[in-house]
Structure 1
Amino acid sequence: MSKTQVTQEQLAAIKAKPFDQLTGEEQEILLGDAAAKKAAKQNGLRETYSSMRDSLIVGLLTRAEKLSADMTAFKTQAIAELDTFAEIMKEYSGRADNADDKGNFTIESPDGLAKIIFSNNEKSKFNELSIEAEKHIMLFINSEFGDKPAAKIITTLLERTKGSLDIKLIQRLYKMENDYQDENWKRGIELLKESWQPTDVASYVRFYKRPTKQDKYTLVNLNFSAA
């Protein structure tokens, strides 16, 4: 009996026998049938895996894109409404415009169970004028101090990280502005202040709620990875 001539009835009869009573040919037929079934199962799993993978990519990505668009639209709308509220609040209070006012505020519901915190973070950096400022300060150092310890203190405050001056170090220089009357020193400090320019403003809105006034506020999480 060859494997190609085995009928379903013959295969069933072979399976009904104890394995140790099968002939060599029958054992081969039975093992071949098991291998065929295993291969068929693997093919089925491969098709299921491939189909599910493709479906997940399309389905989840489509939903993620919609969610991202909804989040972007909500953020834009929320910031616009809070900016408008800030202007009305400022007008109502009679407060004059202040260039240093970043527009940060917190509003709380009358029952004390919800609040919104709105903040603006202004990003700034030193522009090309800072290079000229350094040159003026170095002229002052060379003429005033040479290699004295004071020279090292000032030059240390002018050190750059990845090509950029550190505003915290430069602010220490600002505190020394009136310590010297040298023209190069004064001009250098003036140019440093002028070169510090805003590059961007990032606005943040945070929402909080709590069951009762005795409870702590809980952040309404809008961060996907932390949800």
Structure 2
Amino acid sequence: MQTQELSTAELSTSELEQLLAKRKKEERAKAEKEKVEYEKGRDEMITKVITTAKALFRELGEFKQFCHIEMDNQALKLSEYGKLRSNSKGGFSVTDSEDTMRVTRRRDTEPVWDERSTKAVELIKDFLGDAIKKRDIKMYEILMSFLERNAAGELEYGRVMDLYKHEDKFDDPRWKEGLKLIKESFSNHLKGYGYEFKVKGDDGKWQNLYLNFSSL
């Protein structure tokens, strides 16, 4: 260490600057090499993961189509066999003879309210603010909460159903007409079919095989 210090001390300012520049160049080269190696490894990892994800995504889509075909055929056989309700809208479950495997086709729907719901909410809010707010603020706040819209600006189906539980409490025409319009404006749109897969474990309980392809 002393030898290095002495030899460095003996160097001229120009020589010290050259030595410093050389060291900085070596450090930059080392840092650049480490950066290149890191990015190369990172990119290789991402490529492998994304390639696998793409393959699984493709296979999952193909599997969902396979489920559609197989369950459509099964629904037809069930209908002919008389085991599927005549009012079924497409959702049903089938279980194997040993009661260890089950496949369920779920009918996924989305509640929608048309333009009449806007007028309905206006009428109901007008009635609540005019006749209920001063008389029973707690009831007012509860009923108003059922008309709150979600982040997408839509009425929430569950909340509207809670609102209907109070339908017979008031006779005001605005209240009655508002609830009538909300009911008329409502429709349930089919988003698609979802599937659930279950197997029975050693403990005799059903276990889910989670395959989420609801967005496919």
Give the TM-score normalised by the residue count of structure 1. 0.61
The runs of 5 or more residues in structure 2 that have no matched partner are 1-6, 8-22
Change (3 A) 1:114 1:43: same
Mean CA deviation greater in 117-126 or 63-72: 117-126
The runs of 5 or more residues in structure 1 that have no matched partner are 1-23, 25-34
Mean CA deviation greater in 83-92 or 59-68: 83-92
Q: Distance in 1 between matches of 2:31 and 2:125?
A: 75
Partner of 1:115: 102
Q: Deviations over 1:31-82 (max 9, x none)?
A: xxxx9xx999988766654443333333332232121111111112213422
Aligned length: 195
CA contact (8 A) 1:134 1:158 kept: no
1:114: Cα distance to partner?
1.7
**What amino acid does structure 2 have at the position aligned with 1:113?**
T
Residue 160 (structure 1) aligned with residue 112 (structure 2): no
Pairing partner for 1:129 from 105, 116, 119: 116
CA contact (8 A) 1:114 1:209 kept: yes
Residue 93 (structure 1) aligned with residue 69 (structure 2): no
Q: Distance in 1 between matches of 2:122 and 2:113?
A: 15
Partner of 1:77: 66
What is the identity percentage for the equivalent residue pairs of Structure 1 and Structure 2? 24
Q: Distance in 2 between matches of 1:86 and 1:159?
A: 39
1:61 counterpart SS class: helix
Q: Deviations over 1:130-168 (max 9, x none)?
A: 111123334545776573228726752454144443333
Residue 61 (structure 1) aligned with residue 46 (structure 2): no
1:165 counterpart SS class: coil
Change (3 A) 1:47 1:129: same
CA contact (8 A) 2:94 2:102 kept: yes
Change (3 A) 1:68 1:177: same
Give the TM-score normalised by the residue count of structure 2. 0.64
CA contact (8 A) 1:107 1:117 kept: yes
CA contact (8 A) 2:121 2:147 kept: no
Partner of 1:177: 167
- Compute the RMSD of aligned alpha carbons: 4.2
**What amino acid does structure 2 have at the position aligned with 1:133?**
A
CA contact (8 A) 1:157 1:172 kept: no
1:107: Cα distance to partner?
1.5
